[in-house]
Amino acid sequence: MKVSPILALVVGIVALSLPACDRIHAEGPGHDSRQKIVVTTPKAMDVVLTQPYVCQIHARRHIEIRALEEGYLEEITVKEGSAVKKDQVMFTVLPVLYEAKYKAEEAEYKRTKIEFEQTKKLAESANPVVSQTEVLLFEAKQNTAWAKMKQAEAELNFTKVKAPFDGIMDKLRQMQGSLVKKEEVLTTLSDNTVMWVYFNVPEAQYLDYVSGLGQEDVNRRIELQLANGSKFPHTGTIAAIEGKSNNETGNIQFRADFENEFVQVNGVTVPKLRHGQTGTILIHRTAKNAVVIPQRATFEILDQRYVWVVGEDHVAHQRPITIGHELEDIYVIKDGLGLKDKFILEGVRQVHEGMKVEYEFEKPQEALKHQKYHAE
């Protein structure tokens, strides 16, 4: 049947005057390019929240090994990067002068000791020929000589530099035959059995951490992510919190302790964690009955997140929400939505304020199954 131009014009004007949702039906299915609107509700569920912090890894004990006396470095009995045992001799400074000094002081002590003993016998004889004052003077000389001998002995012992504890030594700072000065650094030594990992926590997160102590500790896990992205196999514990906050940065320093792991490389024991490494501390905690929604249901206006909430009258209203935590595909809601509120999951861009919408309802557990979609 042929339609007159005037009738076609009237139908077109009527179609344009209809609401958007009615125009879809008026234009017919062939012209329907709009996405259907799907509505759901938030879901309460247990979620694992992860907070990352950049960290510095330190050995429990890391010290400088220094020469205690001046002299030529006669012998090096350790290798760079090797493990050493407590009291093991690491370096020997040429001891000739110290040996001679010790022998001289030892001889002087023996001489004063003989003088004192002879003077004491003369003073205690039946006809004393020396006074008690002279005895005391010779005793004082003996004590002075003994002290000088002990000092020379200590200086001689200082020529052998020993490891104060088991550890891993660093590179050599001086080579064999070098003339080293007193207190010059020869190498460093690290006790890597337990590693101290330092990281800074913002004051607000510190307050959250403290408020959760006691009730969340059993659900809190501390992991260490290394520079290559792998995770250290052992979990750590919070061992110390700095006593003051940094007023310039607003941070408080934490320390987590990790038992180190040692591996065998070509017959040599090598620690997996070394002093000076960097990484990322991951603090995981379980939030019970958290209110969550899919990220794709939200939109942003001037740094504020919103959702479209649909009331019982099917009218959509824009509502701001406060996000407590952001996970890979979902937001944990801190404020703005309740478990009974219906919000638009699909078709977010098709809605405007005060618009009456027809929708399909999808259960929240089904809505959360299909993630990996970007927000509209």
For residue 94, is it within any domain?
yes
pLDDT at 331 over 90: yes
For residue 376, is it within any domain?
no
Q: Which domain holds residue 11?
A: 1-31
Residues 167 and 236 in one domain: no
pTM metric for this prediction: 0.67
Contacts 24+ apart (CB under 8 A), 348-354: 348/296, 348/297, 348/299, 348/308, 348/375, 348/376, 349/376, 350/34, 350/35, 350/37, 351/37, 351/308, 351/316, 352/316, 353/316, 353/317, 353/318, 354/315, 354/316, 354/317
- Would you call 333 exposed, middle or buried from its count of C-beta atoms within 10 A (0-12, 13-18, 19+)? buried
Please say which residue of 258, 288, 318 terminates a domain: 288
- For the record, the structure tokens of 199 come out as 């990281």
Q: Tell me, what amino acid is at 316?
A: A
Residues 221 and 176 in one domain: no
For residue 372, is it within any domain?
no
Residues 140 and 225 in one domain: no
Banded model confidence at residue 68, pLDDT cuts 50, 70, 90: confident
Which residues are within 8 A (CB) of 358 and not within 5 positions of it... i.e. 6 or more apart? 21, 37, 314
Residues 83 and 173 in one domain: yes
For residue 176, is it within any domain?
yes
Residues 25 and 168 in one domain: no
Residue 372's region, left for phi above 0, alpha for psi from -120 to 50, else beta, is left
What residues are paired with 283 via a beta bridge?
51, 222
Continuous H helices in 4-58:
5-17, 20-27
Residues 165 and 218 in one domain: no
Mean pLDDT across the stretch 345-373?
Answer: 88
Torsion of CA 352, 357, 361, 362, to 10 degrees: -30
Mean pLDDT across the stretch 163-183?
Answer: 90
- Separation between Cα atoms, residue 50 and residue 73, nearest integer Å: 52
Assign 3-class secondary structure to 238-254: EEEECCCCECCCCEEEE
Residues 55 and 74 in one domain: no
Q: 13-65 pLDDT, tens per residue?
A: 434 444 444 433 333 444 445 678 999 999 999 998 889 999 999 999 999 99
Total domains, the chain: 4
Residues 199 and 263 in one domain: yes
Dihedral sign from CA coordinates of 232, 238, 244, 246: positive
For residue 156, is it within any domain?
yes
Please say which residue of 269, 288, 307 terminates a domain: 288
Assign 3-class secondary structure to 128-153: CCCCHHHHHHHHHHHHHHHHHHHHHH
Residues 137 and 282 in one domain: no
What residues are paired with 224 via a beta bridge?
281
For residue 147, is it within any domain?
yes
Which residues are within 8 A (CB) of 80 and not within 5 positions of it... i.e. 6 or more apart? 169, 170, 171, 172, 187
Q: What is the pLDDT of residue 213?
A: 66
For residue 373, is it within any domain?
no
Banded model confidence at residue 149, pLDDT cuts 50, 70, 90: very high
Residues 261 and 227 in one domain: yes
For residue 323, is it within any domain?
yes
Tell me the CB-side half-sphere exposure of residue 20, using CA atoms within 13 A.
Answer: 10
How far from each other are the two terminal CA atoms of the chain, in whole angstroms?
A: 44
Q: What is the pLDDT of residue 316?
A: 96
Which residues are within 8 A (CB) of 259 and not within 5 positions of it... i.e. 6 or more apart? 193, 194, 234
Residue with tokens 């249901």: 297
- 19-33, 171-185, 241-255, 320-334: range with lowest mean pLDDT: 19-33
- Separation between Cα atoms, residue 107 and residue 103, nearest integer Å: 6
Residues 151 and 80 in one domain: yes
> Which residue did the predictor score with more confidence, 214 or 322?
322
Residues 205 and 296 in one domain: no
Please say which residue of 288, 311, 337 terminates a domain: 288
Find how far residue 312's CA is from the centre of its chain.
49
Q: Tell me, what amino acid is at 24?
A: I
Domain with 361 in it: what CATH number? 2.40.420.20
- Would you call 23 exposed, middle or buried from its count of C-beta atoms within 10 A (0-12, 13-18, 19+)? middle
Mean pLDDT across the stretch 271-278?
Answer: 93
Domain with 134 in it: what CATH number? 2.40.50.100
Assign 3-class secondary structure to 98-136: HHHHHHHHHHHHHHHHHHHHHHHHHHHCCCCCCCHHHHH
Banded model confidence at residue 214, pLDDT cuts 50, 70, 90: low
